[in-house]
Copies of this chain bind each other. A is one copy, B any other.
Amino acid sequence: MSENKIHKPKTISGFPEWLPEYRAVELEWMDKIRKVFESYGFCNIETPSVEEIDALLAKGGDTEKEIYTLTRLHAEENDKEARLALHFDLTVPMARYVAQHFGNLTFPFKRYQMQKSWRGERPQKGRYREFYQCDIDVVNIDDLPLHFDAELPAVLFEAYQALDIPPVELRISNRKIIMGFLAGLGINEPGVITRTLDKLDKIGAEGVLKMLAAAGVPDAVAQKALAFVNIKTPDSTFAEQVKSLGVTSDLLTEGLNELTFVTDNLKHLPKGGVIADLGIIRGLDYYTGTVVEARFREGNPMAIGGGGRYDDLASSFINQKLPGIGVSIGLTRLFGLLMDQGAIKPGQKAPTQVLVVLPEESRRAEVSATTQILRAKGLNVEMYHRDAKIKTQLAYAEKKGIPYVWFPPFKDGQPHEVKNMLNGNQAQADPASWKP
């Protein structure tokens, strides 16, 4: 067995992993996001990575082809096990969880979930097959107060704010506005128009007008729709601008009032952080009210997170009307994007704050006792693993970026000393009272 065949390891396309100093940053991000979620009272849940395929597909849609199904390598024949697959988002599992544990949850149910999801898409830059999402949702029975339409964007904004990333802005709209606007224009099947308008960023105004004309939409309607989606205001003045287009409907009024409530209640966020943007449509069919998209304020306008309100997400699992609103941070996507740009400053290679030197093997017990004193104070402490030359031990601390090296007495009666590796200062110190 001494001659093994070597399987040269390589990264599998779409399944990212990071070196320790970058994972340290990702982990710090996750801690900070979690802290913001919890500061608004969201509880954590975790669902299995695996659901029954039927549950995942209950809502239909075009996710089917992306699902990874599971098979036991040596499944016995006539295996009667349920057909299982990895979840492709955290929304379907959350809906299943809420339905399943309905009687044991407190409503409005505010939960966060930070887990990996999997999609067997063709890998391409910025797309991952395994990725973290950080989701918060509020779900209630029968109706859900508008309060949460303002709260969830605020949480989302604060989560980005907690990270060391370029400034983020939220673009917010409300599905009732565009639906009500199109209804006011006499459009009863708005699908083709909304889908075309959603492409504005990609194909431009001319492209949109061309496509709408090709679809038989009258030019007057197309022009108004285009003017509509170009309304973007930092406050609630969007309502005046919509009214000036001369279109009215009850649904439109309802949507304008809701979005006004939301922008009014986000006034405490920094200037430029929130933009009412009637061009935000978001493709997902299940959104029925507030929709939000997060972007960097500068550069590529791609979404780095977002979400919206839905009327009834768990209807395939339970005979209850459960409206909700949820937002999601595409953590791996965001992190990977900044990694690709070289914009992530690496963290420490190890969490160690103090390396305790082992001067010689005979002093192991005393050195170990010093280490325990420092560790009991909440410090992260490594004791060097053999009585190597002091130079070697210092080099290890330097290589790992450990900020302090502790010199315990080399002989009984000598004092302890600690060296600050950043500025080179070295001074006597008492392990019981020293602080970094």
Contacts and interface: CB of A to CB of B under 8 A. Distances in A.
Contacts of A400: 106
Interface stretch (A16-24, A198-206, A336-344): A16-24
A310 to B, nearest CB: 14
A381 B39 contact: yes
Given A7-B54, A70-B86, A368 B45 contact: no
A6 B316 contact: yes
6 contacts: A15-B50, A20-B45, A27-B44, A41-B350, A65-B72, A68-B73
Interface in A321-346: none
B45 A145 contact: no
Contacts of A108: 385
Given A38-B380, A350-B41, A386-B147, A268 B369 contact: yes
Given A41-B380, A47-B17, A73 B84 contact: no
B72 A45 contact: no
A391 interface: no
A49 B19 contact: no
A318 interface: yes
A351 B20 contact: no
A381 B37 CA distance: 10
Given A4-B315, A6-B319, A19-B104, A67 B73 contact: yes
Contact of A381 (B40, B99, B375): B40
A146 B54 CA distance: 53
A351 B42 contact: yes
A372 interface: yes
Given A23-B45, A268-B372, A69 B65 contact: no
A46 B17 contact: yes
Given A20-B43, A372-B268, A385-B145, A12 B72 contact: no
A110 interface: yes
Interface string A103-135: 011101011000010101000000001100000
Interface of A: 4-12, 15-20, 23-24, 26-27, 38-55, 58, 64-75, 82, 84-86, 96-97, 99-101, 104-106, 108, 110-111, 116, 118, 120, 129-130, 145, 147-148, 151, 265, 268, 315-319, 348-352, 355, 364-365, 368-369, 372, 375, 378-383, 385-386, 396, 399-400, 402
Contacts of A118: 49-50
A8 B42 CA distance: 26
Nearest to A368: B265
A58 to B, nearest CB: 5
B120 A72 contact: yes
B350 A110 contact: yes
Residue with the greatest number of chain B CB neighbours at <10 A, chosen from A17, A85, A365: A17
Given A100-B11, A400-B106, A41 B72 contact: no
